Structure 1
Amino acid sequence: EKSKAISQKISIAQSKIDAYDKCDKVIKDALDVIEYAEMEDDDSLLADVEKEINGAEKQ
């Protein structure tokens, strides 16, 4: 169940990344964190990624 929620968050994060692929550095960092979060099965890292991406969207 937890893995399903994490997969969903990863999917949402990746679609946001696709939409904002102009912010190269943020995206590269976000992808690294997503990859790590996936390996570690860590939900809290994805929240950080979302904040980073949302911050980049505002710029």
Structure 2
Amino acid sequence: MTNLLKMKDIQLIDVNEQNQSAKAFYQVMGFEEYARSEVDDAGRPYPILHLQRSNKEK
């Protein structure tokens, strides 16, 4: 996965706030939370965390 993130130069990821495993995984991959939305893209009450790759990992 690390190679894919670097190969595709993925800088932004959105994860469901309730998915703590995904959040932890992306934090290990060098992503940090920069924003939070109260609802998902469909307007449902599932908070979304917006993550971006930290400058340390570039």
The TM-score, its normalising length taken from structure 1, stands at 0.31
* Structure (1 or 2) with the greater strand fraction: 2
* Structure (1 or 2) with the greater helix fraction: 1
Larger radius of gyration: 2
The TM-score, its normalising length taken from structure 2, stands at 0.32
